[in-house]
Amino acid sequence: MIILVMGVSGSGKTTIGLLLADALHWEFRDADAFHSPANIEKMRLGIPLSDADRIPWLQDLQRAIAQWLQENKNVVLACSALKANYRQFLSLDSDRVKLVYLKGSFEVIQNRLQERHNHFMSEKLLKSQFDALEEPPDAMYIDVSEPPEMIVDYLKTYFE
């Protein structure tokens, strides 16, 4: 099974994903690791990625998901997946790819980003992420204002 933990930058995808993978004894992967150096540089400079920038990234992620499913691996994948068509592209098997949406207000997430250091994603891009966000109708919604441990305890009971 693949648990795709999605949301805007600063919603806690990596934090929750790592904790959840550890609690379930699953593999953790971060979709940021699949970005090209050019995409990372754009984001570091505060330049929003276009759909054309994202296509190779999404194709690499889709190939990885297909391989994990073929190998019956259990993976928690932290991935923004802001648009419905991105999620559709990555959801190769709705029975084995589950979506967890980390939802929070602009203000809560902006405060988190202002406190975050050593990350390539510029705080300047948060508005563009909220603008691009298409909330999923078919995901488990999680309130990011809850403590990470509480979120993971809840998710663990659901996915065990």
Per-domain boundaries in the chain: 2-145
Query: What mean pLDDT, rounded, does the chain reach?
Result: 91
Instruction: For residue range 55-83, list pLDDT tens digits in order.
Output: 999 999 999 999 999 999 999 999 999 99
Look at residue 118 in the predicted model and tell me its pLDDT. Answer: 56
pTM equals 0.90
CATH-assigned architecture of domain 2-145? 3-Layer(aba) Sandwich (3.40)
d(Cα 154, Cα 144) in Å, to the nearest integer? 13
Find the range with the poorest average confidence among 56-70, 104-118, 136-150: 104-118
Angle between helix axes 37-44 and 51-70 (nearest 10 degrees) is 130
